[in-house]
Amino acid sequence: MSMSRARVARRIAAAAAYGGGGIGVLGGVVVGLVLTEVSLARKVVGGSDAVKPAADGRYGFAFALRNGQQPLRLAFLGDSTAAGQGVHRPSQTPGALLASGLAAVAERPVDLRNVASCGAQSTDLERQVSLLLADPRMRPDVCVIMIGANDVTHRMPPAESVRLLSDAVRRLRESGCAVVVGTCPDLGTIEPVYQPLRWIARRLSRQLAAAQTIAVVEQGGRTVSLGDLLGPEFEARPRELFGPDNYHPSAEGYATAAMAVLPTLCAALGLWPEEDRPEAARQEGYLPVARAAAEAAAEGGTEVTAARGPWALLLRRRRRLPESQPPTPIPTPET
């Protein structure tokens, strides 16, 4: 299965690179049926016009008082998952959780700016990136992108979705920003979607996640698979890991995702205590990019980063997540 997914992912990524259209991975009628059901489920369980919790601000402020270090700048881009829709407290959003975790590991304050938009597709990434890069004084040190679910439900051709993400990562990398992408989540976990359509939704989600991984790694970013990480846990404990709308994660669900991303986020800045050295006991190693992408899509919490030539490094880092604290307002830069 992983080899088949690797081939499809490579085809999608290649089509994206050469400006091609969509790659037909399933019959059009079947795909239309499953995506219609997912979209209807989404309308039943919750809309996309909710206001995201306001989590922007400074985290780890005590470190600035203690050692006077300048803050790191962390930005979040993407859709409602990146925005933290489904929870009400800013401290429960993935941005706040990761900002607190990054501050604790770096022992430096972290300024969080979240430009993610509820309901966004990859077409919105160009706007979001432009917002972040508009003021050179406020450009981020590292960005986290979570995108893809709405691309699937709105039937965006996967090659177009991947091309848009690749363009966003390229722009951020050219600006000197490290990039970590949480790939497309598993749409097969949405409760109103039933078998066999649930299996098809899962397959579409993982194929897009694998193709996203190839494109991001080729642009110098890192990816973390979220789909399988949340999938089995959401199916086993939907009342705990889904929020009140049964579509977006709960506070515990977001914490599970943040725990998976934190080590990769820190490693992208050279802050994680573990070296990027594969351990055989954890089934880590160097693989062709497409195969690494396929394996990551099948197992949540798996990181893929570029190695030499056509190879990528697949890692399964240990996860830790310090408790999030309320943000402190960021001082306005002097003009």
pLDDT tens, position by position, 286-334: 999 999 998 898 888 899 999 988 899 999 876 544 455 566 666 555 5
| pTM to 2 decimal places | 0.82
Which residues make Cβ contacts (< 8 Å) with residue 263, sequence separation at least 6? Answer: 272, 274, 303, 317, 318, 319, 320
In a domain, 19, yes or no: yes
Report cis status (omega within 30 of 0) of the bond before 196. yes
111 a catalytic residue: no
Q: Residues, the chain, total?
A: 335
**Span 237-266, average pLDDT:** 70
User: What pLDDT sits at residue 281?
Assistant: 78
CB of 308 closer than 8 Å to CB of 302? no
Active site residue 39: no
* Per-residue pLDDT tens digits for 255-267: 888 989 999 999 9
SS3 state of residue 324: coil
Domain residues for the domain of 232 are 2-45+52-315
The per-residue pLDDT for 53 is 82
pLDDT of residue 323: 52
CATH code, domain with 305:
3.40.50.1110
Task: Answer yes or no: is 306 within a domain.
Answer: yes
Task: Identify whether 248 is a catalytic site residue.
Answer: yes
Catalytic residue among 111, 117, 124, 248: 248
* Position 49 pLDDT exceeds 60: no
Residue 232, pLDDT > 60, answer: no
Domain-embedded: residue 321: no
Answer yes or no: is pLDDT of 166 > 50: yes
User: pLDDT higher for 140 or 19?
Assistant: 140
What's the pLDDT band for 125 if we cut at 50, 70, 90?
A: very high
Residue 328 lies in a domain: no
- For residue 326, being part of any structural domain is answered with no
Residue 44 has pLDDT above 60, yes or no: no
Q: Is residue 334 part of a domain?
A: no
As a whole-number percent, the residues of the chain with pLDDT over 70 amount to: 69
Domain assignment of residue 181, yes or no? yes
Report d(CA 86, CA 104) in Å as an integer.
26
Contacts within 8 Å (CB) and 24+ apart, 279-288: 282/315, 282/316, 283/316, 284/313, 284/314, 284/315, 284/316, 285/313, 285/314, 286/311, 286/312, 286/313, 286/314, 287/311, 287/312, 287/314, 288/6, 288/312
Task: Report the candidate in 136, 119, 117 with the shortest Cα–Cα distance to residue 127.
Answer: 117
Quick one: CA dihedral 52, 57, 62, 68, positive or negative?
A: positive
Sign (positive/negative) of CA torsion 310, 274, 82, 295?
A: positive
Nearest to 72, CA basis, from 45, 42, 98:
98
Distance from C-alpha of 35 to C-alpha of 25, rounded to nearest angstrom: 14
Q: What is the pLDDT of residue 71?
A: 92
Would the pLDDT of 102 be above 90?
Answer: yes
Give the mean pLDDT of 170-189.
90
From 163, 269, 261, 153, select the one nearest 216 (Cα to Cα).
163
293 CB-near residues (< 8 Å, 6+ apart): 6, 9, 209, 210, 211, 213, 214, 217, 223, 304, 312
Give the chain's domain count: 1
pLDDT tens digits for range 61-73? 888 777 677 899 9
Q: How far is CA 101 from CA 19, 74, 97, 111, 191, in A?
A: 38, 11, 6, 12, 31
Q: Is residue 209 part of a domain?
A: yes
Residue 203: Cβ within 10 Å count: 19
Catalytic annotation, pick one of 2, 79, 80, 122: 80
Angle between helix 251-268 and helix 94-106 axes, rounded to 10 deg: 40
221: tokens are 């970013």
Sheet with 178-182, edge to edge strand ranges? 57-59, 110-114, 72-78, 142-146, 178-182, 222-224, 303-306, 311-315, 285-288
CA pair distance 216, 166, nearest whole angstrom = 6
